[in-house]
């Protein structure tokens, strides 16, 4: 059964969350995004204890991000010389920790984005005014 148990057990006939999960035909992205957003799916990345805005594999290095003001989200980013176009923003969250301690302080706005290469967690560090890649989920 594995982790798909929840999906299989889900009865679309009852009034649950209305999702366009099985009706989307134009691209894969909306389906994947909805799947990733779905509350009943436990993501692998969350099996790693999520502290300090990190998720999934713990990698953290500076990247360049092209911002899309109309969407209010990254359009693409360049990591290790390779450019990734953002297909969809799966989720975004904010982190504000230990503001009273300059050594531990963390102030970030994080975006989990879907690209062709996989799912990435990007974070804008408000203190250092720079973009970081903080996690690669798959």
Binding site for other proteins (CB under 8 A): 14-17, 37-39, 46, 50, 55, 72, 91-100, 107
61 near 132, Cβ under 8 Å?
yes
Cβ atoms of 34 and 19 within 8 Å: the answer is yes
Q: Which is nearer to other proteins, 5 or 99 (CB)?
A: 99
Report in angstroms how near the CB of residue 11 gets to other proteins at its nearest.
12
- Least spacing, CB of residue 100 vs other proteins, in Å: 5
Nearer to other proteins, 79 or 110 (CB): 110
Q: Least distance (Å) from other proteins to the CB of residue 15?
A: 5
How distant, in Å, are the alpha carbons of 76, 89, 102, 119 from that of 113? 9, 4, 29, 6
β-bridge partners, 133 = 61, 122
């Amino acid at each position: 059964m594995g982790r798909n148990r929840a999906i299989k057990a889900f009865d679309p006939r009852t009034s649950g969350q209305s999702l366009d999960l099985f009706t989307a035909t134009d691209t894969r992205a909306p389906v994947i995004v909805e799947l990733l957003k779905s509350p009943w799916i436990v993501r692998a990345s969350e099996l790693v204890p999520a502290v300090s805005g990190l998720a999934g594999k713990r990698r953290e290095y500076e990247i360049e991000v092209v911002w899309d003001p109309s969407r209010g989200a990254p359009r693409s980013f360049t990591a290790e010389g390779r450019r990734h176009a953002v297909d969809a923003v799966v989720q975004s969250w904010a982190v504000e920790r230990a503001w009273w301690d300059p050594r531990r302080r963390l102030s970030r706005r994080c975006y989990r984005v879907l690209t062709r290469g996989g799912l990435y967690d990007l974070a804008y560090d408000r203190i250092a005014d720079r973009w970081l890649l903080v996690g690669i989920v798959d």
